[in-house]
Amino acid sequence: MIGRIPITDISPVVDCGQWPAKAVAGETFQVSATVFREGHDAVAAGVVLTAPDGQRGRLRPMRELAPGTDRWGLDVSLPAEGDWLFRVEAWSDPIATWLHDAEIKIPRGMDTDLMCEEGARLFERAAKAVRQADCPGNGNGNGHPAAHTRTGRTTTSSATKPATKPSTKPSTNGNGNGDSTCGHRAALLAVAATLRDEQLDPRARLSIAQLPETAALLEAHPLRALVTRARPRTIRVDRRRALYGSWYEFFPRSEGAVVNESGVSKSGNFQTAAKRLPAIAKMGFDVVYLPPIHPIGHTFRKGRNNTLSPEPDEPGSPWAIGSDDGGHDAIHPDLGTIEDFAEFTARTRELGMEVALDFALQCSPDHPWVKEHPEWFTIRADGTIAYAENPPKKYQDIYPVNFDKDPEGIYTEVRRVLRHWMDHGVRIFRVDNPHTKPVGFWERLLADIHATDPDVIFLAEAFTRPAMLQTLAKVGFHQSYTYFTWKNSKYDVETYLSELAGETSYFLRPNVFVNTPDILHEYLQHGGNPAFRIRAVLAALASPTWGVYSGYELGENVPVRPGSEEYLDSEKYQYKPRDWVEAERAGWSLAPFITHLNLFRRAHPALQELRNLRFHRVDQPDMVCFSKRLPGAYDPATRRHGLGDVVLAVVNLDPHHTHEAAVELDMPALGLDWNAEFVVDDELSGESYRWRQNNYVRLDPHIQPAHIFTVRAAPR
């Protein structure tokens, strides 16, 4: 049943509260709700937060987001991890209602004494309501309500000032309790007394209620009527890495691999792969993602370019997990031992990075599960186990697990494997094809892990339909792959990135990879070096988490055949040693450019947020402009936030041609007045420009495909 003061459309709420909304420690997000009432009396709203330990905070004021919309909001930042509760409260504000009417009537000489007496009585009621718990400074009060609005009308302020200015400042001994409470009560009573002082002109009496000091008193001690409380909603606050990070995917077996003149191959291992880690850290990456590191089956092993006739020394696909050497809890003998893996992860941590491990719930025909638990698989009419298919593609080297055959047995084993790797230091898992397993399985498993290890992060590699991708995010996945690799036009870039930063942002955190071992988009195949730079700029600046698959910095762009998104000589089926040093020495590596982007991201907290992405108008179909802003401190005098950290990017999406355009900026989104002039410093070229709302740009993709600006106020 609806409350006395209706509170509707509360946000953030995921599927009517079935699952918690998401945030990370220190992230800024908005709590909002629609609040209104019958008639024209003023209403106000606020938010009460309850910490994971059950400690309830003070009431925090909400503000009407746009006059006349009845939509109220409050920007919130939660400092600690855990499950927080928030509750929206709304109430009728008798003093704001009275003040609105008094500001109309008293200047016109209408019912002046009556209006002053009614106001005095309201302030007396406010003084009477002051309790010890209401005092600022003791942390458990209900102070600081919102500003007030009148339904359908705007409150204005009289400029008339009193002949004398009775003090409304409370006396205090600085400890925020007893004496302060008495001072606040006395100040409210002083307002009431002034309103009754018939020796003063009514307009002067009214002005005491209009003083900023009086408004501050009412913020600390609101007079609330018809208080209505919505039921609490949950916000799950994760560690910062769940939102922000730069990922680098590479195959340990390729680092240090040897391919001799006769074509015979020898695998690299964790020790040789560790030699690559300093270069990855130098590029500014935070997470090193490893494809499966487990033994690989021999039956139907795939060879070079996905053939069914491998050479004896060809390694096979890491996703064909399991052999006589073990299954999901084992390490491929060519890579080393569990001790070698521990040294690799320790070295990664020393360099300020984390290891993310692939978690692929599938088997080769040689996996121990196939022998020990044949009931976990689908048996075809001819008695054989069904291998994976995505017609016309066939994966004869992989058996999918049938999660309906023995749900409890499969769940118990999968949980054991997961905790095995957690016990060996892995705190991030990239889950392969989660959309081919029951959603309820993931909801149960992720809740199980969260109950004991809330710092463990799961990334869903869910290239699937939106309903499945989004539901996986709702049930507990901390991050999700996205459709970004297929979004290359201006329309697609603007609409899809806006969706990720907006309507899905409270449950789906994007991890925007520019390429993967399976996805080499035609944009990269045909766009040359400019295309690689353009996509890196979009991913690194528009999303707080982005990633690259190794070889991206070398511009690898040759498909196995025209029209395919698979790489020629794919690393999934063979060793692929690369000469990183020679590429940088020759000057054609993108490593310096990627380093620049990642270090820029670290230096600008605005780029580490998701929901602050704003697109601006560009009159050219091949160019986009977007910004991210983290406002500065709030100034009570101006009632505005400082400019803060502002990044503005203009990107030419056409990797082949130069384009010119006019950029029209949404100035408030940048924290600037509409007529402001400001300075932009280009992070790529080092040049600076004076900009206004409307500006001219020209971008040659072969020189610099983008402007990456930081914004600062123009010197006088």
Q: Please write down the HEC assignment for all residues of 212-235.
A: HHHHHHHHHCCCCEEEEECCCEEE
Question: How many residues are recorded in the chain?
Answer: 716
Its sign, for the CA torsion 328, 332, 337, 343, is negative
Distances (CA, A) of 215 to 147, 183, 446, 555, 585: 9, 15, 48, 61, 66
List of E strands, 160-297: 225-229, 233-238, 245-249, 258-259, 265-266, 287-290
User: Which residues of the chain are in CATH 1.20.58.80 domains?
Assistant: 94-222
Helix (H, G, I), strand (E, B) or coil at 698: strand
Contact 40, 151 (CB under 8 A): yes
Three-class DSSP labels, 451-484 = HHCCCCEEEEECCCCHHHHHHHHHHCCCEECCCH
> Cβ of 528: how many Cβ atoms within 10 Å?
15
Residues facing residue 8 across a β-bridge: 34
SS3 content of the chain, % helix, strand, coil (to 5): 30, 25, 45
- Using DSSP, state whether 198 is helix, strand or coil: coil
How far from chain centre, in Å, is Cα 1? 34
Label residue 339 exposed, middle or buried (CB < 10 Å: 0-12, 13-18, 19+). exposed
Where do you find CATH 2.60.40.1180 in the chain?
613-713
Q: Which residues are catalytic?
A: 432, 461
Distance CA 55, CA 178 (A): 22
Q: Which residues, at least 6 apart from 669, have a Cβ–Cβ distance to it below 8 Å?
A: 614, 616, 627, 629
Averages of pLDDT over runs of 10 residues in the chain (716 residues) are 94 97 96 97 96 96 93 96 98 97 96 97 94 46 44 39 46 47 89 96 96 90 94 98 98 94 88 98 98 97 94 95 98 98 98 98 98 96 93 90 97 98 98 97 98 98 96 98 98 98 97 97 98 98 98 98 96 96 94 98 98 98 98 79 95 98 97 96 97 98 98 79
CATH 3.30.70.20 assigned to 94-222: no
Q: Which of 275, 480, 459 is nearest to 360 (CA)?
A: 459
**Is the C-alpha dihedral spanning 474, 477, 478, 480 positive or negative?**
negative
Adjacent-strand bridge partners of 430: 358, 459
Angle at which helices 202-209 and 112-129 cross, to 10°? 30
Structure tokens belonging to residue 309: 């006739």
- What's the pLDDT at 343? 98
Q: Mapping DSSP to helix (H, G, I), strand (E, B) and coil, where does residue 597 land?
A: helix
Dist. CA 518–CA 536, nearest whole Å: 18
Q: Is 636 exposed, middle or buried (0-12, 13-18, 19+ CB in 10 A)?
A: exposed
Q: Which residues contact 667 (CB under 8 A, 6 or more apart)?
A: 673, 674, 676, 693
Cβ neighbors of 241 (< 8 A, separation 6 or more) are: 286, 287, 354, 428, 457
pLDDT in tens, 134-146: 444 443 334 344 4
d(CA 211, CA 92): 21
CATH class of 613-713: mainly beta
Cα–Cα distances in angstroms (integers) from residue 527 to residues 340, 382, 562, 564, 705, in the given order: 40, 48, 15, 16, 12
**Tokens at residue 405, please?**
């055959």
In this prediction, residue 635 carries a pLDDT of 78
- Structure tokens belonging to residue 404: 């309906």
pLDDT digits (tens, 9 = 90+) for 95-127: 999 999 999 999 999 999 999 999 999 999 999
Q: What is the DSSP letter of 526?
A: H
Q: Are 164 and 193 in contact (CB under 8 A)?
A: no
Are 92 and 86 in contact by the 8 Å Cβ rule? The answer is no
The helix/strand/coil state of 187 is helix
296 burial type by CB count under 10 A (0-12 exposed, 13-18 middle, 19+ buried): buried
For residue 96, the model assigns a pLDDT of 96
Give the CATH number of domain 1-90+227-238; options: 3.90.220.20, 3.40.1280.10, 2.40.160.40, 2.60.40.10: 2.60.40.10
Residue that the structure tokens 């007030």 belong to: 148
Q: Check whether the bond before 145 is cis (ω within 30° of 0).
A: no
The predicted structure's pLDDT at residue 155: 39
Contact 589, 568 (CB under 8 A): no
CA distance 122 to 103: 16
Contact in structure between 540 and 533 (CB atoms under 8 Å): no
Q: What is the Cα–Cα distance from 518 to 152, expressed in whole angstroms? A: 56
Q: Where in the chain is the domain with CATH 2.60.40.10?
A: 1-90+227-238
Q: What is the pLDDT of residue 161?
A: 42
- In this structure, the strands spanning 545-549 and 245-249 are parallel
For the range 461-469, what are the long-range contacts, defined as Cβ-Cβ under 8 Å and sequence gap of 24 or more? 461/430, 461/431, 461/432, 461/433, 461/434, 462/433, 462/434, 462/435, 463/435, 464/435, 468/435, 468/439, 469/435, 469/508
Fill in the DSSP letter of residue 156.
-
Residue 85, judged by CB atoms within 10 A of its CB (0-12, 13-18, 19+), counts as: middle
CB distance 46 to 144 below 8 Å: yes
pLDDT of residue 428: 98
The helix/strand/coil state of 283 is coil
Return the pLDDT at 716.
59
